[in-house]
Every structure is written in C-alpha cells, then in structure tokens.
Amino acid sequence: MQRVNIVLGGQAGQGVNTVERILIRAFKQSGYHIYATKEYMSRVRGGLNTITISVGSSPIRSYREQIDLLVPFTTGVIDWVAPRLTPQAIILGSDTFLDGTPPTEHVFALDWDEEDEKNFKKELNTLCAGMVTALFDIDQNLVEELVKEAFDDKQASIVEKNLKALHYGWTQGEKLKNDQNCTFTLGTDNSVNDQTLLNGSEAVAVGALSGGCNALSFYPMSPSTAVAVFLSQQAQNFDLVVEQFEDEIAAAGACIGTWYAGGRGMVTTSGGGFALMEELISLSGMSETPFVLHLAQRPGPATGLPTRTAQGDLNLVLHAGHGDFPRTIFAPKDIEEAVQLSARAFAMADKFQTPCFILTDEYFVDTYYNSDQVSLPEMEPLQIIESPEDYQRYQLTDNGISPRALPGHGQGVVIANGNEHDEYGDTTEEITLSAAMPEKRMRKQQQMIDEALQPTLVGTKDYSTLVISWGSTYNTLKDAVESCAIPGLALLHFSQVFPLPKSITDYLNQAQQIIAVEQNFTGQFADLLQRDYACRIEQRILKYDGRALSCEYVSEQLNALVKGGHHE
C-alpha cells in the first residue's frame, strides 16, 4: 500500500482535535508522510465531526474520500460517512458505536467490558490514538511523550488517566493485529523527520511574519481566527501586536492606522466580517494607504455554513469598496506557496500603496501536511522617504506611485485623506484634479499586471482540453488530472486571481475545450475570465455543498465531460 486513509469520528467536545495532533506527529516522527484535514459541525458540543488522516510512504497532498480505517467514538458516525466506505474498509471501536449499515464486513468490536468503557469514557480520544498507533507499529514511548505534551497544562491525575487510556488502546490494537490480522504495512522515509509540518493557517501566519507583519487586528470569525490564535501565541517572540477589536470595522481601521504610522498591519477575517470592512477598503484605496487582509472563505450568504469550505467570496473581494481603485488578490495553491504569497502581499501593498488580499478557505486553513519545500522569503524594507518641507503626499507621477512618507519622519506634513484631494492631500473638488487623481491611482494597474504571477500548467503543453482552477483546489485537481487517461488534458491553475498576467490570452486561445472547476454556485473566476478575455467557458464543475473537493469527484466529472475520457 502507498496510502492509508484513516478517519476518526466523534462529537465536538470529545477531543477530536487533540487526537489529530497526537496522531499526525506520531506518524511524522515515525517516518511516515502525512496529510490531514477535517470536517466539523458548527457546534460547541455534540454533532458529528470527522478527521481524515492520510498516511503514506511518499508525499500526500490531495484529498481522497475513500476510507480504509474508520474509528468511530460516538453513535451515528458510520451512517454519516457511509458513502465513503468501501467493501475493504476496516471499522473498529466499541460495539456501542458500531451501529449503522456499513458496506463492509470488516467490523471489529473492541474486547472490553462495560466497566472499562465507563472508566475511559472521557479519554476515548487518547484510547483511539493508542489503538491506531499500535496497528502501525509506532513506538509506544514516542506516543506516550506526545500524550504528555498534549495534556501538559492539565493536572497530573488527568495526564495519568490519559496514559492509562493510551496503554489500554494500545493493548486493544495489538489484540486486533494478532487475532484478526488487522495491520497496515507502509514504507517509511527517514527524511520526513526533518521536514516542516504546517497547516494552512500557520502557513499564512508564518508568511505574514516573513513579510514583516508587526500588528494583527481581528474580530473572531471562523475559520479565519486560527491565524490570529497562532500569531497571538508567537507575539512575544516576534515583537508583534495582536489585538482583538470590538468589531470588524475597528479592526480594519486599525490596520490602516498601522500602515499610516509606519507599521505593517494585517487583518484576518471571513466573508461576513469582510462585508463590514468594505468602507475601510475604499479608504485604503482613496488614501493610498497600504492594507493587507487575509480572508478564509466559508459558504454564505449570511452565516451560511460557518465551519465548511467554499470559494464563494472572489466577487466580494474583487468588487469590495465603492469607486475604482487597484488591488491585488492572491489565492495560494498550497501550504508552501501560502508562506511566499502572504509575505509577497506585504511587499505589493507597500510598493503600490493599495489593498492586497490573501484568499484561502476552511479546507485550506485546517489542512496539515509535511514538506521540505517551505522556505522563508526575505523581508523587503518599507518603501518610504523622509518628507521634504514642501512634501506632496499624492504627487502626480508617470506610474501613479507617489513617494510615501511617514508622519514625523522629515520636515513635511503627511496627510492621508479619504476625500478627493490635491497633490498635498488637501480636499478639493477642482475639475482637473478630480479627473487627474483617479487616473493617477489607476495607472498603477498596468505595472501590477506586468508583475502578476504566472499560472501553473500541469500536463501536456499540447493540450486541447484545459481545466481552469484557482486557490486551494490545486493539489486535488493535479492528482485527478494526472490520474485520468484523457488525451490532450491539462490543468491551468491560478494563484493570483487579480490582476491577471497578459499571457492568459495565449493559454485560453490554444484550448478547444475549457472546463472551470470551482467551489461556488456560479463559477465566479470563470465569469471573470469571460468578462475580461472574451472566452466562453460553458462547461463548469461546481461544488457548493461546503465539503472539500475530492480526487474521486473531480475524476468522475472530468470523464463525464470529456468525450472518450476514461481511467487508467
């Protein structure tokens, strides 16, 4: 086997996230490549949450629905994930939770009595960690240390109870191996030990720090809050201010104030929070104050599905704010690129004195994997001047970029004005300047197009069918396209969705058939391409149920749309 998909299912409050952290670190430190993602309900307690942990002998980057090993530790899990179970799937756990009608005959109840089950009711997550690690022959001492680390802020009695649960689970796993031949054999890779393990939220945060972020402002909103939590934990190590404000409007205003004063601020939010910030986005555009915002998408409208994933906010970010002003929108394709583009967002915002956005989604921020490709970009210095006495903050220039100074740095007065203004920043309604200033601001757009990131082409260069995608869907689509035996098929993936590079025309003109794949109802990026490049994209694979895009789903859809397509 090259890959095993393990799914753990439980209620919110049962420590599902704790067992995830223990297992992915146990697998990684044992030399396995790992990939982990989750789906969870919007509940503080109860509901059904599942974690998928893919373990392999080679790198894993994509989401597959198939379940090889299911461990439920609450009722209802089997029916919840039934479509993902195959006849070969193995299900194990307490007979109390093995309800439902799975399509597999490989269902094994744990060999324990009611007293044992009662004793370890609160430690089921740790017990499951013991069971699973035993099936993979992971060193028990290693797992013990990880359990101690996971509960190091708890009382000694709680730590001891969890260690007992771990040992009990380990014994159950060993019994399953011996009695049922229930085991998994995968090759290991010693290089994994030295690789970096990050999830998407951590990657965005690390990239922001690499870009010089020294102030994060936010108002909590799932799934973006994970970025704020990580940065708050690192604040003292990086001379970083992390502040939760009273609302989203204040958080956005603080970010503008940070840049005006010479800092490098970022806001992290999700769709509903961003909707409240739009007036401040316009203020950044008019005052030409740099602004960086991370938006983790979730299904809308309104509260929608607050703990699910989507790509439904592209139009929101593309058109946010009243009036016309340039902006840059990044949508990292993977964790490695999230570090690079989050840092680049700070450089672009500073250089062009415009808003810059980092678009991710719930699937991306909650997904882990190990990588040896994570590199930290060098921080670029702020592009500022010492203001002369006759300083013109909004000086008309050929490229639209005016020299930016900071208040108190030099002899001149630094004015940031949300009204239309003259070159000094004083409010004006003079007809010539009322036209010259918008033209100046929009002149930046051409240079931004020249510096736009090129899309990534996967597959044959002599393609006839082109799959178009953007953001976090890259690895899953890459896997699906490469596994489909469809002649002339290629994937064109965008990590910068606005503005787009000039080369996009050549890519689109070569294709005889274009298929857009997006996680929204209308195909927002496809509509953008049709609007700006006069191409027709009638075939679209659109998923909008809040669940992650899987290799199986994409492969099935592609084979249905492309004539003659079939699997190898």
Return per-residue pLDDT of the chain as tens, 568 residues.
689 999 999 888 888 889 999 999 999 999 999 999 999 999 888 899 999 999 999 999 999 999 999 999 888 999 999 999 988 899 988 777 887 777 788 888 877 777 777 788 888 889 989 999 999 999 999 999 999 999 998 999 999 999 999 999 999 899 888 888 787 889 999 999 999 999 999 999 999 999 999 999 999 999 999 999 999 999 999 999 999 999 999 999 999 999 999 999 999 999 999 999 999 999 999 999 999 999 999 999 999 999 999 999 999 999 999 999 999 999 999 999 999 999 999 999 999 999 999 999 999 999 999 999 999 999 999 999 999 999 999 999 999 999 999 999 999 999 999 999 999 999 999 999 999 999 999 999 999 999 999 999 999 999 999 999 999 999 999 999 999 889 999 999 999 999 999 999 999 999 999 999 999 999 999 999 999 998 999 899 999 999 999 999 999 999 999 964 443 3
What is the distance of C-alpha 378 from the center of its chain? 22
Kindly report the CATH number that applies to the domain delimited by 3-192.
3.40.920.10
**CA atoms within a 13 Å half-sphere pointing along the CA-CB vector of 167:** 7
In which residue are the tokens 């870009």 written?
Answer: 211
Read off the tokens for 15: 């420590």
- Preceding omega of 499 cis (within 30 degrees of 0): yes
Kindly report the CATH number that applies to the domain delimited by 456-567.
3.40.50.920
CATH 2.30.42.10 fits 197-371, yes or no: no
C-alpha 406/C-alpha 157 separation (Å) is: 56
CATH 3.40.50.920 domain extents, the chain: 456-567
CB 11 within 8 A of CB 72: no
CB 229 within 8 A of CB 258: no
CATH 3.40.920.10 domain extents, the chain: 3-192
CA distances from 152 to 132, 237, 306 (A): 22, 21, 31
358 phi and psi, to 5 degrees? -115, 110
CATH 3.40.50.970 domain extents, the chain: 197-371
In which residue are the tokens 């060193």 written?
Answer: 139
Nearest to 205 by CA among 231, 176, 235: 231
**CA atoms within a 13 Å half-sphere pointing along the CA-CB vector of 10:** 24
**Residue positions counted in the chain:** 568
pTM of the model: 0.95
3-class DSSP state for residue 336?
helix
